[in-house]
Amino acid sequence: MLPLPLLQFQSFLTWDSLNMNMDMEVSTSFHDFLYRMRHPASLDLVRSIKSFIVSFSFHQPKPENDGKRVQDFFVSMEAAIRDHSLWTTASEEDIDCAMQGLEKYIMTKLFSRTFSASAEDAKIDNEISSKICLLQTFLKPEHLDIPPILQNEALWLLAEKELLKINAFKAPHEKLLSIMNCCRIINNLLLNAAMSEYVPAGADGFLPVLIYVTIKANPPKLHSNLKFIKLYTRQAKLISEAEYYFTNLVSAKTFIVDLNAKSLSMDEIKYKESMQAAKLTNKVTSELSAACQMSQQETDDSSCSKKMHNKLDDTGVLLHGSNYPYMEAKSKELTVGDVDMLLSDYKDLVAKYTILCKAIGCLSTAEREPLLRHLEMQGPETLLNFTAPSDHHRHK
């Protein structure tokens, strides 16, 4: 039996190859569809497609009704394609490719009308994303009872990247593929763990990992993407493996929405304190970011500031938090040319420090204590940033 690291390496190779093949299949299907639609013999099909797209704007946006209208059109178009002269010798795979191309074309044209069409959908998306942002500050795999054998950061990161692609596509089938790709990576992880530990790779381990990966990734517009896939993916494609993985992500979303202390292996008081601290941290961070942006706009006119900003942009080092290029520098290493940047760094640090102290000072004792406890857990250097300056540290 192969050791776990080698199994994981092989899974990376297998996954890269599989992912590349899927991307090529989607691209080939769409381009083949467009190629056939340019043929003079396809004029009747083109007219039907254009007529359907135009007629869509005649109705008031109603997701469920819109979904049924699209599904009915797919069924009628599949029958028309099967009977069409351009597909007389076509295989089932050819027909499926044509329908996949049609789905992408139709839903790309109707995307602005059908995706996240209601204010309620946007509201739910924001609520889920905001809650995930809070959970990201303290949630650990142990809180979801994920065993160490399944805690693989490299594969988790790969799964997160695939899940994040869900919002990059307009075709429901491509969005569904992003979910399937993410879930297959997780399933691969479970299979590898089962082979190395002689334990069954069941669904009990799959969903907690998917929930954790979803929280780590925080995919944009999760609710709207899932709703879009459910309504507009051809029903013939949302079956079997695709349906299983899709249903699991829907379950993961529902778990996150309903998540509380009882959902986790976590003390209820500790959970409430962590959530409260995360809210305060996010609030202070947002206020600090807004204040720093205003301060940056005010100083952008100075040539020194522009020079520094350009130099930092070129090197990828921006003045945020404690990421300062001279933090570890020694005096003998500095040159006269460093003075402008050092002065700018100093002003930036003092401005952020002052704003942060004022923000913390505005909080009540009840609000401040859980925040400071949370920061103390992050490390003493973080806590120092939230401690009021002593007299001998103040600058005259």
Same domain, 97 and 210: no
What per-residue confidence (pLDDT) applies to 109?
95
Half-sphere CA count of 68, side-chain side, radius 13 A: 5
Which one is predicted more confidently, 348 or 230? 230
Angle (CA) 177 178 182, round 5°: 115
How does pLDDT run across 181-217, given as a tens digit for each residue? 999 999 999 988 888 765 555 667 899 999 999 999 9
Give the pLDDT score at 374.
61
- Do residues 108 and 157 share a domain? no
Q: What is the pLDDT of residue 258?
A: 96
Q: Where does residue 343 fall: left (phi above 0), alpha (psi -120 to 50 degrees), or beta otherwise? A: alpha
Last residue of a domain, one of 114, 145, 175: 114
The string of pLDDT tens digits covering residues 116-152 is 988 999 999 999 999 999 999 999 999 999 999 899 9
Q: Report how many domains make up the chain.
A: 3
Q: Is 249 in the same domain as 326? A: no
Rounded Cα gap, residues 202 and 151, in angstroms: 16
Whether residue 77 sits in one domain with residue 146: no
Point out the domain boundary residue: 68, 88, 114.
114
Q: Which domain holds residue 69?
A: 19-114
Q: Give the domain-ending residue among 83, 114, 145.
A: 114
Residues 6+ apart with CB under 8 A from 149: 193, 196, 197, 199
Q: Say yes or no: 150 and 238 in one domain.
A: yes
Under DSSP, the state recorded for 389 is P
On whether both 243 and 126 belong to a single domain, the answer is: yes
Please tell me whether residues 141 and 239 are part of one structural domain: yes
Across all residues in the chain, what is the average pLDDT? Answer: 80
Q: Which CATH number do you get for residue 149? A: 1.20.1050.80
* Average pLDDT for 165-171: 95
Shared domain check, 136 and 259: yes
Percent of the chain with pLDDT over 90: 51
Alpha helices in 198-267 (DSSP H): 203-217, 222-232, 240-258
User: Three-state SS for 41?
Assistant: helix
Do 222 and 280 have their domain in common? no
Higher pLDDT: 299 or 206? It is: 206
pLDDT at 83 over 50: yes
